[in-house]
Amino acid sequence: MVVTIVYVSVKPEKVEAFKEACRLNHEGSVREPGNVRFDILQSADEPAKFVFYEAYKTQQDAAAHKETAHYLAWRETVADWMAAPRQGVAYQGLFPVVSG
């Protein structure tokens, strides 16, 4: 399993619009054949900070996500709403074991 944890800081005035754009991206992402999880978390202490937990069966599935219409629309929509560049950290998922 291939996991990416993405850290995002959003301009405070864009938080609600960002959440809606993320909902649309989430709904498309969880329907992708190689998707295992696609969680979007908002900080309880700092509402303009978000974490995405993206898990895919294979590296190819993770790469295919970046080609989808819903991801490309999200990326374009939210580009100017970032307070800082988003940071993705790649992990190899160990457990649970997911077959490709």
**pLDDT of 66 higher than 70:** yes
Q: Does 97 map to a domain?
A: no
Residue 35 belongs to domain spanning: 2-86
Interior angle at CA 69, CA 18 and CA 72, nearest 5: 50
Is residue 99 in a domain? Answer: no
Q: How many domains does the chain have?
A: 1
In a domain, 92, yes or no: no
pTM above 0.75, yes or no: yes
CATH code for position 76: 3.30.70.100
| Assigned domain for 57 exists | yes
Domain assignment present for 94: no
Q: Binning pLDDT at 50, 70 and 90, where does residue 100 land?
A: low
Asked if residue 7 is part of any domain, the answer here is yes
8-32 pLDDT per residue, tens? 999 999 999 999 999 999 999 999 9
Query: Predicted confidence band at 99 (pLDDT cuts at 50, 70, 90)?
Result: confident
C-alpha distance across the termini of the chain, in Å: 8
